[in-house]
Amino acid sequence: MANEKKTQTGVWPKIKPFVNGGTSGMLATCVIQPIDMIKVRIQLGQGSAATVTKTMLRNEGIGAFYKGLSAGLLRQATYTTARLGSFKMLTTKAIEANDGKPLPLYQKALCGLTAGAIGACFGSPADLALIRMQADATLPAAQRRNYSNAFHALYRIVGDEGVLALWKGAGPTVVRAMALNMGMLASYDQSVEFFKDSLGLGEAATVIGASAVSGFFASACSLPFDYVKTQIQKMQPDAEGKYPYNGSLDCTMKTLKSGGPLKFYTGFPVYCVRIAPHVMMTWIFLNQIQKAQKNMGL
């Protein structure tokens, strides 16, 4: 009993949601990284998924699909750690305020919006490094930054552009994270209820089905913001030192004018394929981690 009380009141219960969230996100990223790499290349105008894949294999080799993995892992260690950890804390506090009753859907969505914003603020520097490393091979040789890893990228960005440059494109990053978390969490909860209660599916089928639905809505809500964020983060100044966009709003308006609303959904199939499995695997890994910790008495 004393040990149980110690576990309940110690430091570990407070940090466990953050540790578990970051670990599950990093494991999922190791699997998803090649799809994410293809998605970024499609958004940069390299062609279809099949064309991008063939070109990368022919010109850069299999290792190209894992370029930027260190930045991707660092992003999960910051973004997902803060996002899932803060979401757990927010929902726990909200349930306590609700006298222990389950939260209505809108309150879960609000917790997801807040957690997404918190996570994005922490993860924006690593996200910037990831986008630049993935886009580097698409630039002319003279313009390539040639970052060796995520920490080298962060060091160079601070040295060349200043500390605040680490949060370049942070505005769309935060908004994207809020939209993604709202779509992901709200649709996931509703889908679990539908598959489990209405269709009577088992646990595995429910998780897979709900994750797929959740991934679709997370993609649909967040891709326009992801597109703008990518354009802002990868832009280079011209010979006169002028950037193509003055900011997120300018990028949005110019994109609408040149390509219309559907331009923001460039690469949607690959983006959706990338988001849905990542959502699913993150929850699966998280569930397995929690089971292992329970068996170890943690």
Instruction: Show pLDDT as tens, one digit a residue, over the chain (298 residues).
Output: 444 444 456 788 888 989 998 999 999 988 888 887 887 788 777 778 888 888 888 888 888 888 778 877 888 888 889 988 888 888 888 888 888 887 787 888 888 889 888 988 888 888 788 778 777 777 777 777 778 788 888 888 888 888 888 887 677 778 888 888 888 877 777 787 788 888 888 877 887 788 788 888 888 888 888 888 778 777 777 777 788 888 778 888 988 888 888 888 988 887 787 777 788 888 788 878 988 888 888 7
- Report the candidate in 181, 149, 154 with the shortest Cα–Cα distance to residue 168: 154
77-294: CATH topology: Mitochondrial carrier fold (1.50.40)
Full-model pTM: 0.69
Q: Which residue type, as a one-letter code, is found at position 107?
A: Q
Please state, in angstroms and as integers, the Cα–Cα distance from residue 191 to each residue in 115, 177, 194, 219, following that order. 21, 21, 5, 16
- Listed by start position, the domains of the chain span 77-294
Backbone phi and psi for residue 242, each to the nearest 5 degrees, phi listed first: -100, 135
Residue 49 burial by CB count (10 A; 0-12/13-18/19+): exposed, middle or buried?
middle
CA 228 to chain CA mean position, Å:
15
